[in-house]
Structure 1
């Protein structure tokens, strides 16, 4: 049976994630309150942030930055694109 959650990003009941996609408390929060479509939207935004800012997910400072941006994107609606970003 599909696990349903009230997605704080989409503001409606949707299919939940299969597992916590991030370590720690942030991952637990995402698992409990974010749906699959919202997580996919974040992954696209995260890829853009990594590419435009030349981030390494292995660098602890970069991971901390990405975690903060993830929480803003999914829960606060305040994620911004990097300065000078021009989509292809």
Structure 2
């Protein structure tokens, strides 16, 4: 039987993550509230955040910034986690008819 969660990203019941994807209390909150698909959406956003801000996952200060973005993205906490003004996420270009 597949484990499910009420995903805060998708706003629907979806397949749960298998384990906490991040250490500590934040990882446990994510495990309890984010689906596999919601986590995949976060990973796409994370790439943008790392690239746009020149962050490193090996740097403690960068990880703190990433965690603030995680809290904003998943739980609408704080001022981070939203797409920066003027930034448009990649979309599939329209097909020519």
TM-score scaled to structure 1, two decimals? 0.87
C-alpha spacing 1:56/1:11, structure 2 compared with 1 (3 Å): same
Partner of residue 33, structure 1: 33
The question of 1:47 aligning with 2:47 is answered yes
Shift of 1:87: 5.1
TM-score scaled to structure 2, two decimals? 0.80
RMSD of aligned C-alpha atoms? 1.9
Q: How many residues align?
A: 88
Structure index of larger Rg = 2
Tell me which stretches of 4 or more aligned residues in structure 1 moved more than 6 Å. none
SS at match of 2:13: strand
Q: Deviations over 1:36-88 (max 9, x none)?
A: 11101100000001011110011111101101101110121862234664656
List gaps (5 residues or longer) in structure 1. none
